[in-house]
Structure 1
Amino acid sequence: MSESSAGRKRANGEGTIYARKDGRFEGAAYVLMTDGTVRRQRVYGRTRREAFDKLAKIQQLSREGIPMPSESWTVERFLAYWLEHVVKPGSKPKTYEGYEGIVRVHLVPTLGRKRIKSVQAADVRRLLLRAGNRCRCCEEGIDAARPEKQRKCCAVGRCCGKYPGTRRLQQIHAVLRNALQSACKEEIIMRNVARLVSVPAPNYRVHRGVDVEQARKLIAESTDDRFHALYVMTLYLGMRRAELLGLAWADVDLAAGHLEITQTLQRVDGALRLVPTKTRSSERTVPLVGLCVDALRAHRARQAWEASQTDGWTDSGLVFTSTTGTPLEPDNLRRSWYPLRERAGLTGTRFHDLRHSAVSLLLGLGVPPHVVRDIVGHAHIGVTMEIYAHASLAEKRAALAKLDERLR
């Protein structure tokens, strides 16, 4: 039978299907809604079969007690609701700040006016394509064919031409996917189309950091540095920068020889704040031994002297502070770290690489991976082993030398 024969007698339960003037087919049937009512809902298809299949699907879901969304939310309206009532109550301030920024800069401008029920996988792909073509600095679209039309970046006086990396696109996709999943749970939409779109995983470059001799030199070079104890603890315990700067004296017990990591220092909404640790596994108690204890005792004595010599000293209760006792701006640690790494011959080494160094040094001594994981606060042991899997050239040479000896 031809698809144009829209006037045939329909079967029981089929609903209504008829041809539209624009060439498409429209179907309609009464189905259960999320507000408990039964309403007439419409579906559309390029062919009669497509419209019939869509109509049959919503009717089947209705018979199974799965309702259709009763509200016609726009993406912008739902995202505002989601941020306020789902993300904010259940997330840390830094997480909420990151989600809000992605929603405001990327999701709302591209998808905000669309009805959330009408968002398709193609819309998600267009979103990611547009995000990938936006200047990271000024968030303006980059038109390679008409560079004279580009707006100047407020930061550098011109469009910097830096595109978001794979990691940023993955974050944008993840925020949209999480939001749509929440909409599914609240029965506002029936499926999460963001799950139909894949984003390439970022290729992380893992730095193993420094070896034993380099670590010794770093400790020796930092002896007179104001943050000597901070570098010692990073190399021994693999603490994150935010954990070190959020460490309070109340959580350090030098007599018993241990400390508790319960909070971190982060910049949230433009202000430095003490917030809970990154994950539950990050909240941990670790022992203090040898040089860690000595360095912390010397640091406490030095801090007490600074407090006595400084007018207007603020007692923040933190172990590592500014020269006036206030929480230390994380980026200001570079003023100490950059000169130190130059003196130690570690040009290019990042401060975070010292955390990786602690993992590698401990595993290299034969410490069981699960013990190392608990010391540094990794969520999964796979993260611990991934860092160590990047063997040094010396280790590779030694392994091949053993094989050479055996084969000879």
Structure 2
Amino acid sequence: MNILVLNVGSATLKFQVVATDGERIAGDQDAKLLRGQIERIGGESVITIRHADGSTRTRTASLRDMRAAVDWLVDHITSPESGTGLTARADIHAVGHRVVHGGEQFRSSVLVDDTVLQGIEDNVELAPLHNPHNLRGIEATRKALGTGVPQVAVFDTAFHHTLPEHAYIYAIPYPLYRRHRIRRYGFHGTSHRSIAYRFRKITGRERGEVRIVTLHLGNGCSACGIRDGVSIDTSMGFTPLEGLVMGTRSGDIDAALLDYIAAKEGLSLSQVEAMLNSQSGLLGISGLTNDMRDLLAEANELNDRRARLAIDIFCYRARKYIGAYLAALGGAEAIVFAGGVGENSPQIRARICEGMEWAGLHVDGTANAALVDGREGRFSTDGSSLHAWVVPTDEELLIARDTYRVVSGVPLPG
């Protein structure tokens, strides 16, 4: 089945075309036919296409809105130039959408119908920066491909619905949860689920044999404690702002700071919240950038104090969460790194793992240095009782597989 996977933002459209049977093709190698992204939708858009042979092409096109972007994409996918082998719109059998927030209603991936669309809209107030764009992507795809092509919503929050009540309830007056569903939802669930699945495959373990801490480290960052294949705790909460230090997000802070900063700086609470989301984290501490590669260069080559401080805080917070989740899990067999930073920065991985010999983790520096550019593997020593791995996340593949299963009526993994 040929699946078009879409991840829609305010002015961006990330996409991938995957041929899959929902589990594996030729030994767990699904056919990834095309991937890329369209940026600056609403004007002269920049389109980056990565073909199956590894070649990349960048072009521009005038795309006035998301409908125009999806139309352009579908036309390209079904053209000889794309190299996908798809020649007509009918060759796109289904579409899978990343949807950020499913609230308490959506606990797994679902076939999109009018009821599901209403449910996604009902959760807009929980994800006002994401769900409206996800809805626009679904509507644009309906118009481009017709209502006969099934669409599936895969929710970022769904994986964390296994959190026990004591992990997701905030210590605030309980009626606030009952009235407004104020609770910890968690995010990056599709990524954490993908990492856990791949870890089981490469280590040959069954779901019930796995206790791991996964770290999705990119511009957005989160940690997750996984036992028996399910999430038992995660660092992001009611919004993606809670938890680890991120590129531009503060992560955990004292809640009283919001009112204090507002009073001192003459800002509204919504302005303070915007500051914590878009001007804080690595960017806020360093005053330079939210890009870890640039911060490492500044620290290593120029010995910039604030760049070093930003890196120190980032790694310390991640290590602190690892310790918390080792306690919550009752011990674990591995820490698994993923995401742009987690997959490509041996220096950050080593820094996060510093001082964890007490837990049985000993880093093999040579193995760690080799794990970049999409390579997966273990970088702890053979004698470690707590191991460290790099397992690149593949959210698009998981979305494609879920889409196949939902459309075909195959049960989703438990």
TM-score clears 0.5? no
More helix by share: 1
* Rg larger for: 1
TM-score, normalization: structure 2? Answer: 0.24
More strand by share: 2
